Structure 1
Amino acid sequence: MVIYKQADSLKELEQILELQQRNLPKNISEDESTKEGFVTVEHTLDVLQAMNEVCGHIIAVDDNKVVGYALCMHPRFGNDIEVLRPMFQEIDKVLERKVNYMAMGQICIAKTHRGQGIFRKLYQTMKEKLPKGFDTIITEVDGKNKRSLVAHTAIGFNTLTIYNSNGKEWHVLSCYK
């Protein structure tokens, strides 16, 4: 049975990084990335731990193994990961009012557990666990990652803006609590 919770151990953070490695474009075929989707950012354990201390990452655990995750990234980490800096700049440009948001820094489901509603449940749990005062989740998706764009739209995310950075088209998406 899959349980959903916030990460609270080094072992869970290490398992997040293992799952991340298995889904980076450099570790999967182009055909697989097109069909199954992919993750873009390669986090370090130090950054992952620092982010987790501010707002615990949401994980799906089956038989003591992390099979899915949604990373919580407080905006104060906006300069810590180079590839995400443009996203935070775009968010600042397009937000019409003061919105207290948490960035969802990456979401990933193990291949063995896809198609079981884990994606939706990770986001539902994230909404429930957001720190007091946060009312929105914002994320971005590589325009080539059609599976992820469709999945985010299906659970209620809307496009805030689309921009180009480092030769890629990025879709900034938001979902209110």
Structure 2
Amino acid sequence: MIEILTSSSTKDLEGIIALQKQNLRTDLSSEEIKEQGFVTVSHSLDDLEKMHQHEPNVIAKDGNQVVSYILGMTEQSKSDIPRLVEMYESFDHIEYKGKSVANYQYIVVGQVCVDKNYRGQGLFDRCYEAYRAYFNKNYEFAITEIASINLRSMKAHERIGFKTIYSYTDASDTEWNVVIWDWI
């Protein structure tokens, strides 16, 4: 039986890392990337522990195995993990409903992943329902960036209510969509 909860232990964080490693873009074939999607960033245990000090992550577990996760990152995470600085600073220049994203209370979806053996069973949606239920009391929306070529992820996020508010191309010629799931 699959249980959806928030991460609470080092073992949970290690489970996130194990699932993340199976789905890194750098380790997948172009066919897998196109059909199954991918995750871009590889987090260390130290990264996840620092993020977890501010907010937990939503995870799905089948027994002791983490089979899905959605990372919760706050602005405080920006200073803990240097590679996040650019993303957070870009939010200062993006407007949403007439004001800078930086002027809202938001939670960043640091990454989302569902184990290949559990896809197509509604787990993505169930985890996001739990994410919203947990975070919507303190945050006005969830925001994240999705690579345009990650079509599976874009479609799944749009299906549950995320909307693209900004797109840009980074220094490596990857196009990114900044998406928001408004909870107000």
Shift of 1:81: 4.3
| Counterpart-to-counterpart distance in 2, 1:106 and 1:147 | 14
Unaligned runs of 5+ in 1: none
Change (3 A) 1:152 1:12: same
**2:47 corresponds to 1:47:** yes
Shift of 1:26: 2.0
The answer to whether the 8 A contact 1:55-1:130 is kept is no
| Counterpart-to-counterpart distance in 2, 1:114 and 1:38 | 13
Q: Which residue of 1 aligns with 2:168?
A: 163
Shift of 1:47: 1.1
Q: Which residue of 1 aligns with 2:113?
A: 108
- SS of residue paired to 2:93: helix
| Counterpart-to-counterpart distance in 2, 1:53 and 1:131 | 18
The answer to whether the 8 A contact 1:86-1:165 is kept is no
The TM-score normalised by the length of structure 1 is 0.94
The answer to whether the 8 A contact 2:54-2:77 is kept is no
| Counterpart-to-counterpart distance in 1, 2:177 and 2:24 | 19
| Counterpart-to-counterpart distance in 1, 2:85 and 2:170 | 10
Amino acid of the structure 2 residue aligned with 1:122? C
Unaligned runs of 5+ in 2: none
Give aligned-pair identity as a percent: 35
Q: 1:118-143 CA deviation, whole Å, 9 max, x = no partner?
A: 11111111111117431210011011
- SS of residue paired to 1:78: helix
Q: How many residues align?
A: 176
Bigger Cα displacement from structure 2, 136-145 vs 88-97: 88-97
| Counterpart-to-counterpart distance in 1, 2:82 and 2:20 | 15
Map 1:1-177 onto structure 2 (within 5 A): 1-79=1-79, 80-82=81-83, 84-95=84-95, 96=99, 98-130=103-135, 132-166=137-171, 167-177=173-183
Shift of 1:86: 3.2
Amino acid of the structure 1 residue aligned with 2:50? A
Shift of 1:88: 1.8
- SS of residue paired to 1:40: coil
| Counterpart-to-counterpart distance in 1, 2:10 and 2:2 | 20
The TM-score normalised by the length of structure 2 is 0.90
| Counterpart-to-counterpart distance in 2, 1:155 and 1:30 | 26
